[in-house]
């Protein structure tokens, strides 16, 4: 940082130091909104390294940064403030490098559909567990309620009871006809919120309903992304009326996973963690150990079978070493 700073000061006397928020990232340049409300395109120079992770992009949407700008409009990011959290994913399947999707999130809304397309409970639970590890609070949005059969609606209500009971707030909405959207809108006030979920669940439709002026592309673009023609992810933050931001990352389905120890996986399933305090062994994996309070709770229907299956599913990945590969 110091080197860049001196270089710029020496060569461009009319420079200005400012603080701002990174609101768009394309990989090669960043759009920074300054404290005065100006939007400035910035490049980075120098070496930004994060402790412990190898990343393809050192700076992400949501980062609070310091920039230096001259009168000709050239600007550089010179410093990043410490992050309260961030989410990453692997840059590509084969790569050991990771890509930071966003930083400093207040919450994440996981958009879920029971059908068209189906979101499995395994997917939901893995997402929730990763978010716990990232220390990002999650709320669930069940979308497309205008399109379900009675049976599907019944199943949806069961899921809502389950996740509400565990401690995840749930919304029941139709992004298409607007039902339930006001409650979501209210909950976004004053916060930085990331929207996640499978392609086709209605994220862009929902964001458009909340921010009609942004006119984010729906449907067609998602399928284009699915074919993998462009795997690069450009994240963007959209300001919401009043105060707060929505982050749309076209490529995000779930979070990358942390390098966690086997006995740690259970810490990220809230109710499993609660019961595990009564297990006989404190490194219990809740699979075969005698005196396991978690398995007892599953038998007594105090922990749902679907949650326990998702837990076992994550643990299996762990055994196959997939967690390590996540970096």
Ligand X SMILES: Nc1nc2c(ncn2[C@@H]2O[C@H](COP(=O)(O)OP(=O)(O)O)[C@@H](O)[C@H]2O)c(=O)[nH]1
Summarize as ranges the residues that interact with Zn ion (CB under 5 A): 279, 284, 286, 292, 294
Smaller CB separation from ligand X, 30 or 195? 195
Binding to Mg ion in span 257-286, by CB under 5 A: none
And the tokens for 36? 């005065």
Smaller CB separation from Zn ion, 280 or 322? 280
And the tokens for 71? 């009168």
Smaller CB separation from ligand X, 74 or 222? 222
Which residues are CB-neighbours of 247 under 8 A, at least 6 positions away?
Answer: 61, 62, 102, 105, 192, 193, 194, 195, 235, 236, 237, 238
x/- string (CB under 5 A) for Mg ion, residues 195-234? Answer: --------xx-----------------x------------
Smaller CB separation from Mg ion, 64 or 203? 203
Tell me whether strands 236-239 and 245-248 are parallel, antiparallel or unpaired.
antiparallel
**DSSP category for residue 48:** -
How far is Cα 184 from Cα 105, in angstroms, rounded to an integer?
17
* Interface residue with ligand X, options 119, 121, 130, 174 (CB under 6 A): 174
Q: What's the closest the beta carbon of residue 26 comes to ligand X, in angstroms?
A: 20
Stretch that binds ligand X, among 85-93, 150-158, 195-203, 298-306 (CB under 6 A): 195-203
Q: What's the closest the beta carbon of residue 121 comes to Mg ion, in angstroms?
A: 23
x/- string (CB under 6 A) for ligand X, residues 224-243? Answer: --------------------
146 binds, among ligand X, Mg ion, Zn ion, none (CB under 5 to 8 A by kind): ligand X
Give phi and psi for 79, each to the nearest 5: -155, 145
Contacts 24+ apart (CB under 8 A), 243-246: 243/189, 243/190, 244/188, 244/189, 244/190, 244/191, 244/192, 244/193, 245/23, 245/191, 245/192, 245/193, 246/188, 246/193, 246/194, 246/195, 246/207, 246/210, 246/211
**Look-up of token digits 């931001």:** 245
Does 205 help bind ligand X (rule: CB under 6 A)?
Answer: yes
Residue from 295, 292, 290, 327 nearest 308 by CA: 295
Does 204 help bind ligand X (rule: CB under 6 A)?
Answer: yes
Q: What's the closest the beta carbon of residue 123 comes to Mg ion, in angstroms?
A: 17
x/- string (CB under 6 A) for ligand X, residues 117-146? Answer: --------------------------xx-x
Residues paired with 44 in a beta bridge: 77
x/- string (CB under 5 A) for Mg ion, residues 17-46? Answer: ------------------------------
Smaller CB separation from Mg ion, 70 or 208? 208
Reduced to 3 states, what is the DSSP secondary structure of residue 261? coil
Residue from 192, 212, 194 nearest 203 by CA: 194
Footprint of ligand X (CB under 6 A): 143-144, 146-147, 174-176, 197, 199-205, 218-219, 222
Footprint of Mg ion (CB under 5 A): 203-204, 222
């Amino acid at each position: 940082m110091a080197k860049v700073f001196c270089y710029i000061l020496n060569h461009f006397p009319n420079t200005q130091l400012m603080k701002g928020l990174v609101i768009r990232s394309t990989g090669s340049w960043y759009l920074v909104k300054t404290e005065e409300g100006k939007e400035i395109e910035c490049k980075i120079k120098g070496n930004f390294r994060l402790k412990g992770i190898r990343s393809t992009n050192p700076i992400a949407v949501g980062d609070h940064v310091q920039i230096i700008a001259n009168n000709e409009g050239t600007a550089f990011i010179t410093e990043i403030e410490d992050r309260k959290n961030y989410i990453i994913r692997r840059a590509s399947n084969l790569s050991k490098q990771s890509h930071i999707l966003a930083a400093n999130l207040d919450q994440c809304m996981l958009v879920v559909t029971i059908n068209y397309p189906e979101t499995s409970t395994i997917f939901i639970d893995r997402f929730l567990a990763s978010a716990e590890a990232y220390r990002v609070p999650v709320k669930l949005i069940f979308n497309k309620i205008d399109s379900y059969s009675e049976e599907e609606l019944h199943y949806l209500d069961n899921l809502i009871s389950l996740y509400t009971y565990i401690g995840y707030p749930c919304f029941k909405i139709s992004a298409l006809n607007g039902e339930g959207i006001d409650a979501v809108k209210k909950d976004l006030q004053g916060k930085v919120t990331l929207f996640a979920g499978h392609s086709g669940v209605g994220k862009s439709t929902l964001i458009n309903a909340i921010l009609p002026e942004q006119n984010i592309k729906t449907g067609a673009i998602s399928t284009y992304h699915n074919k993998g023609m462009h795997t690069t992810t450009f994240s963007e933050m959209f300001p919401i009326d009043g105060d707060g931001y929505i982050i749309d990352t076209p490529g995000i389905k779930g979070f990358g996973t942390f390098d966690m120890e086997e006995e740690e996986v259970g810490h990220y399933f809230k109710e499993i963690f609660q019961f595990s305090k009564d297990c006989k062994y404190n490194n219990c994996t809740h699979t075969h150990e005698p005196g396991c309070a978690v398995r007892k709770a599953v038998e007594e229907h105090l922990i749902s079978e679907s949650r326990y299956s998702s837990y076992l599913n994550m643990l299996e990945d762990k055994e196959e070493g997939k967690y390590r590969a996540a970096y």
